[in-house]
Structure 1
Amino acid sequence: MLETSMDLHQLHRAASAYYLDGLRQAEVADRIGVSRPSVSKLLAEARRIGMVRFDVLDVPTVDLTELAGRLRELLGVDSVRIAPGDQVQRDFRGIGDLLAVELAELAIGAGEVVLVSSGKTIHAVTGMGGMPRMPGAFIVPIVGGQQEPDPSFQTNETVRRLADRTGAQPRFLFAPARTSPTLWASLQADPGFRSVVDLWDGARAAIVGIGGPYRDRTSLTSVVPRGEPALASAAGDICLHFFDADGATLGFPGSEFLVRPSLETLRAIPSTIALAAGREKVASIRAGARARLFTTLITDVPTAEAVLAEAGVPLPS
């Protein structure tokens, strides 16, 4: 469902009158019985929540198919999808559109499980319209995140957003991203916790973000310590598994109590879709591929070109 505190029916009436019927804002105000400034607010809110969508298409400057093919070969992954333009500036709209295409092609059925991680990009795209319907499927958190102050790391809310957009059933993990030893032991014996974590095995797909290099991170879940020497060489992370430039995983004190899947579980998922955009993610993308933590990458043109350029791979003309 569309998330707003305003009246959805009034939003729809205003948007339909303005965008479909071609009325001026003053005429819309007369039709629905509100003031002219109120119409402006209604239209802005309709665009914000995705009730109204429009794009300014980029002029193609590169063959996206060839660019994706070269990046797929470099990374050694199953699939690469590339959105045109700079998706960081576009609030990841193009990446969300490509994720919708990927999920539609997977044809997730009733009873199948889609796992969802946390992070800025995933939080943005799971709130977008256009996602395929997946009635009867389960949307499940793949990491803990309860009580995180940053909404992008509140994994349960991200799960709820995607479930609302797809008609799937949400499942929630009532656990922080990192526990104390005592809480960890309690959770292992808790039937509610186990019923969710057990869904990780046999999941059909996972949607994950690729965190940037540890030393340069401006956005980081609160349970990962800042200035941790053991993570100084971390090129990035996926599902709280940190790895260096060669793809070797890195631990830190307390990481054994992180609520996350094992590497074996993560690598066994048939389709792990990684979302990443931004030049700061170049090293992280290559390292994550070396760690074999995703099968599909969705990114944008500037990021894809930067990854290829760093590796010395010629760009398509």
Structure 2
Amino acid sequence: MHPRESEDSLAVRAAWMHHVGGMTQAQVATRLGISGVKAHRLVAHANRIGAIRVTVEGDILSCLEAEQALAQRFGLTECRVVPDLHETGLPLRALGQAGAQFLEEEMRSQPEATIGVGHGRTLGAVVSALPQMDAARLRFVSLLGGLTRTYAANPHDVMHRLTERTGAEAYVLPVPFFANSTADRDVFLGQRGVGDVVAMGLGARLMIAGIGTVQPDAQIIASRLVEAAEVTEVMARGGQGELLGHFFDAAGQSVETGLTARTLSPDLAHLRERRIVAIAGGETKVAAIRAVLQSGLLSGLIADERTAQSLIGDVDGTS
């Protein structure tokens, strides 16, 4: 139960859990510490105040406070914190829904824009939650190479799925995430067509990305994009978080290794002053998200409530 919340914000929280989180009203009641009758009335109230549509809309006091705290501390121009759905592992349902809502708003407000996109499980969840829509004048462009030895090793082909959902043009980088050597990197970038896609990505009005960890179970290792030993070197130099192929330590400083010299993604110099919005959350990613936030590269963050509270606790010295 969140005693500081108004009736409206508590109703939105209950509606989010019920309609987005897939909980029964009895489960909502248990989570919020209220009676089943109260849970039913809250969901009905959310419907009366217009919060329930295809998605749940409305402001929750604790989420608004978290957004303001994160934005102020890390210099973000936009921040969205969505209610905790008590998911095990990565909060993909909550982040997917919130990210899809954000992306849909962007597409409708700028129907002829170019949007740069990363890859990974979280962005895969965003695309899965995106409604079928007509955005034929929009362009999506991959900001990262993503070729692997087998398709099964890279199941999160967000570009292909974005095209299926929106009808927009999508441009991919037909190169690996990391080249085998710096010489190979130069060869890849010199290939006809690759440079054009890179330039298109650098000119994107908006860049949407996930945030990766450098732990042994990191997605870039699980997807066979890099070898575990290569990430171990990043860890040894203090690396904690990854954004668009770049690694950062706890202070937000770039971690330079042989691996980072081979990345096939926009250089850090080109990412400065860009509008980059990250979608990320989960207990295992708090340190990584904090490191990327400290870098100052992000203009926006979409996170779940539990992750946001952990980041705020770190800032306040309360955790």
TM-score normalized by the length of structure 2: 0.72
1:100-158 superposed Cα distances (whole Å, 9 cap, x missing partner): 33224334535421111122211222222337643211111111111255768566x21
Q: Which residue of 2 aligns with 1:136?
A: 137
Residue 191 of structure 1: how far off its partner (Å): 1.9
Matched letter for residue 162 of structure 2: L
* Partner secondary structure for residue 251 of structure 1: coil
Matched letter for residue 74 of structure 1: R
Matched, 1:164 2:169: no
Residue 92 of structure 1: how far off its partner (Å): 1.8
Matched, 1:69 2:73: no
Q: Which residue of 1 aligns with 2:204?
A: 203
1:229-261 superposed Cα distances (whole Å, 9 cap, x missing partner): 343211111011000000011122143221111
The 2-side partners of 1:69 and 1:148 are apart by 43
Percent identical among aligned pairs is 25
* Partner secondary structure for residue 224 of structure 1: coil
Q: Which residue of 2 aligns with 1:97?
A: 97
TM-score normalized by the length of structure 1: 0.72
The 2-side partners of 1:266 and 1:251 are apart by 16
Residue 285 of structure 1: how far off its partner (Å): 1.7
Matched letter for residue 292 of structure 1: G
The 1-side partners of 2:295 and 2:64 are apart by 25
Compared CA separation, residues 132 and 293, structure 1 to 2 (3 A): farther
Q: Which residue of 2 aligns with 1:301?
A: 305
Compared CA separation, residues 202 and 98, structure 1 to 2 (3 A): same
1:263-308 superposed Cα distances (whole Å, 9 cap, x missing partner): 12222323x1111111122222221111122211111111111111
1:57-85 superposed Cα distances (whole Å, 9 cap, x missing partner): 86778622122111222222112111112
The 2-side partners of 1:229 and 1:177 are apart by 17
Say whether the 8 Å CA contact 1:238–1:293 is kept in structure 2: no
Q: 2:226 aligns with which of 198, 201, 224?
A: 224
Q: 2:263 aligns with which of 253, 258, 269?
A: 258
Matched letter for residue 279 of structure 1: E
Q: Which residue of 1 aligns with 2:315?
A: 311
Matched letter for residue 80 of structure 1: C
Say whether the 8 Å CA contact 1:87–1:300 is kept in structure 2: no
Matched, 1:273 2:277: yes
Matched letter for residue 127 of structure 1: S
Q: Aligned ranges for residues 21-100 of structure 1 at < 5 Å?
A: 55-56=22-23, 63-86=62-85, 88-89=87-88, 92-100=92-100
The 2-side partners of 1:100 and 1:129 are apart by 5
* Partner secondary structure for residue 145 of structure 2: coil
Q: Which residue of 1 aligns with 2:254?
A: 249
The 2-side partners of 1:183 and 1:191 are apart by 15
User: Which moves more between the two structures, 162-171 or 58-67?
Assistant: 58-67
The 1-side partners of 2:92 and 2:120 are apart by 12
User: Which moves more between the two structures, 106-115 or 231-240?
Assistant: 106-115
Q: Which residue of 2 aligns with 1:194?
A: 195
* Partner secondary structure for residue 137 of structure 2: coil
Say whether the 8 Å CA contact 1:86–1:302 is kept in structure 2: no
Q: Which residue of 1 aligns with 2:11?
A: none
Q: Which residue of 2 aligns with 1:8?
A: none
The 1-side partners of 2:187 and 2:173 are apart by 14
Q: Which residue of 1 aligns with 2:185?
A: 184
Structure 2 spans left out of the alignment, 5+ residues: 1-18, 33-59
Residue 225 of structure 1: how far off its partner (Å): 3.5
User: Which moves more between the two structures, 250-259 or 298-307?
Assistant: 250-259
Q: Which residue of 2 aligns with 1:38?
A: none
For these two proteins, the number of residue pairs brought into alignment is: 261
Residue 313 of structure 1: how far off its partner (Å): 6.4
The 1-side partners of 2:159 and 2:93 are apart by 18
